[in-house]
Chains A and B, each alone.
Chain A
Amino acid sequence: MSPTAPALEIDGLIKDFGPVGALDGRMVRVLDGVGLRASHGAVTVLLGANGAGKTTTLECAQGLQRADGGTVRLLGEDPSRASPQLRARVGVMLQDGGLPPSVRPLALLRHVASMYSSPLPVGALAERLGIDDFGAVSIRRLSGGQKQRLALACALVGRPEVVFLDEPSAGLDPQSRTIVFDLIRELRADGLAVILTTHLLDDAQRLADYVYIIEGGRTVAEGTVAELTAETDADGVRELRFETLPGLTLPPDLLPHLHQLEAEPGHYVLRGVLTANDVARLATWWTDCGVMPSTIALAPRSLEDVFLDISGRSIR
């Protein structure tokens, strides 16, 4: 494998589940041609709504599920037949954690470390992720965020070259989130290929070098956050908010291409592709009504807009 080869290459990945009794024993196609590349020294984000196929894609890449079609190459090998040596180079954080409730965090982390020939020092890793604060309590007593940090430590303790993080920010308070995000950026700087899933657009916007939007078992869009949100300057502005008297109703024919709502009394939001002409018409209407908004704000096209443009489905 050359040093520039992608850490993970997936082409035309197909996965069927079933037979499903509720569908008269038919199979359900969960993945229908997912394709992606993940490079060393980069954070690759799989973004999609719940049920889009992100976790199944990761499980095929981790060797936990066997693909029904297409190819998956992890560090140049087939992950469904991974040797212990390949598994040692790949760290996995599962969505449900995979943590035994009756075990103590530090004991588990030491045990996982013992599976590798040259693991990270457990004490330093535990300190870094704040695990030593709760290292001697049973895992069942931990909060969601504490479990997430422990699962992350278990994924990293073997010094992987590739790390899979399935919803790493789920259940994290803002402080833990900062710790975890800083660590992810550090892993990238150290040359790891970081592959993570999220349904949170904010995560993707903060972390991703490259984003794949997964929808209905397919890769429907890909690019850097800048590429995905830029498109053309013409449709760059996607939201206008203003604040004034409550209870105003925009005439339906004034700006028919914009979605209008009064988020709370006196707080108005217009969503859609906004032009200077739209703003001028709005200002004219304010003049006609005799109001002057106390605030006006424009927002550029966000990943959420990209997602809505593509799928028509809502995502957080």
Chain B
Amino acid sequence: MTADPATPGAPGTSASVAPHAAGSGPATDAAASLAARVLRHGRYEALAMLRNGEQLVLAIVLPLLALVALVITPLLDGFGPSRIDVAAPGVLALCTMSTAFTGQGIATGFDRRYGVLRFLSTTPLGRSGLILGKAVAVAGVLGVQLVVIGGTAVLLGWEPRTVGIPGAALLLLVGSAAFTALGLLVAGTLRPEATLAVTNLVWILLAAAGGVILPASALPAAVEPFVAVLPSAALGDGLRSALVDGSLDPVACLVLLAWATVASLAAIRWFKWS
């Protein structure tokens, strides 16, 4: 199975396209390992997201603008010790939604339209590798957002409760799983143009009144119980409770877990690859 990249370039001759297994029986290890396939696909999709202009605006620029706006306006006064302490967890929840749900959903919708999902599922990556790779990509981009947004928040005076950081990490993990599954559900059932419209609209609605930036308790009493069971409010309020008060909100955890489970099952049931 030696492949010499130097020999095929000789003048006047053509590059060999001979298979390594011709006449020698089937190869048993022609595929790269599962971990290598998933990580390589995760890196590929994460770089594609970070190189895409609109995605970068959604992932980095809008959250940064939101963070600064929340610090210089009195919108969050009275919800915690300082504006930045209440703002930063909410903006991280917003980042999770933009990356896992909107960005990933739109990319998947168009990949489905162009047959990219079908082609990649015929390679050793396969359907399961493709989904796992997407999860890795979401986690990777979210990591970049945590560094950039979290770092900026610290510069603006953010002092998260260290005791709440493991709980916050858990919520981010379950939250990104829930929003990734929801994004895949939309991308796998609607046309890509509809996916684009729906995921952006839902992102704006949830960001404005879904308990992400403004706590669900700040909303009118009539809508508060409905908003509290949304994944956006569970993530936003859960992160605030962890990073402002240092306590893990079990209801928020359960709500996110329920959304992640139901959305995954629905995506498995209804996702169309072509």
- Chain A residues with CB under 8 Å of chain B are 1, 3, 62-64, 75, 82, 84-85, 87-90, 92, 94, 96-103, 111-112, 114-121, 123-125, 127-128, 151, 154, 156, 158-161, 182-183, 186-187, 190-192
Residues on the B chain within 8 Å of A116, using CB: 30-32, 124
Residues on the A chain within 8 Å of B73, using CB: none
B81 at the interface (CB under 8 A from A): no
Docked complex Cα distance between A85 and B30 (Å):
6
B74 at the interface (CB under 8 A from A): no
User: Do the beta carbons of B121 and A64 come within 8 Å of each other?
Assistant: yes
Residues on the A chain within 8 Å of B274, using CB: 64
User: Do the beta carbons of B124 and A123 come within 8 Å of each other?
Assistant: no
Q: Given A90-B122, A128-B14, do A3 and B25 touch, yes or no (CB 8 Å)?
A: yes
Docked complex Cα distance between A90 and B19 (Å):
11
Q: List 30 A-B contacts (CB under 8 A).
A: A63-B122, A64-B118, A64-B274, A75-B26, A84-B37, A85-B31, A87-B122, A87-B126, A88-B27, A89-B27, A90-B122, A97-B114, A98-B119, A99-B119, A111-B44, A114-B36, A115-B32, A116-B30, A117-B31, A118-B3, A118-B27, A121-B5, A127-B8, A128-B17, A151-B119, A154-B119, A158-B124, A161-B26, A186-B14, A186-B17
Interface residues of B in 37-74 (CB under 8 A from A): 37, 40-41, 44, 48, 52
Nearest B residue (CB) for A127: B15
User: Do the beta carbons of A125 and B17 come within 8 Å of each other?
Assistant: yes
Q: Given A125-B15, A192-B19, A192-B22, do A117 and B115 touch, yes or no (CB 8 Å)?
A: no
Residues on the B chain within 8 Å of A124, using CB: 5, 8-9, 15-16
* CB-CB nearest 8 A-B residue pairs: A98-B119, A121-B5, A88-B30, A98-B115, A124-B15, A191-B22, A88-B31, A128-B15
Number of interface residues of B (CB under 8 A): 50
User: Do the beta carbons of B17 and A115 come within 8 Å of each other?
Assistant: no
- Within the complex, what minimum Cβ distance (angstroms) separates A120 from chain B? 6
Residues on the A chain within 8 Å of B5, using CB: 121, 123-124
Q: Given A1-B26, A94-B119, A187-B17, do A115 and B125 touch, yes or no (CB 8 Å)?
A: yes
User: Do the beta carbons of B27 and A156 come within 8 Å of each other?
Assistant: no
- Within the complex, what minimum Cβ distance (angstroms) separates B50 from chain A? 13
User: Do the beta carbons of B30 and A159 come within 8 Å of each other?
Assistant: yes
Residues on the B chain within 8 Å of A183, using CB: 17
Residues on the A chain within 8 Å of B155, using CB: none
The one of B16, B22, B37, B120 that contacts A161, using a Cβ cutoff of 8 Å: B22
Docked complex Cα distance between A98 and B119 (Å):
5
Interface residues of B in 1-23 (CB under 8 A from A): 1, 3-5, 8-9, 14-23
- 9 extra A-B contacts, CB within 8 A, seeds A116-B32, A190-B22: A3-B25, A64-B274, A90-B122, A92-B123, A102-B52, A103-B48, A112-B123, A158-B123, A161-B26
B249 at the interface (CB under 8 A from A): no
B197 at the interface (CB under 8 A from A): no
Docked complex Cα distance between A232 and B232 (Å):
75
Which of A3, A124, A156 lies at the interface centre, i.e. has the most chain B CB atoms within 10 A of its CB? A124
The one of B3, B23, B26, B116 that contacts A191, using a Cβ cutoff of 8 Å: B23
Q: Given A1-B26, A94-B118, A117-B29, do A89 and B17 touch, yes or no (CB 8 Å)?
A: no
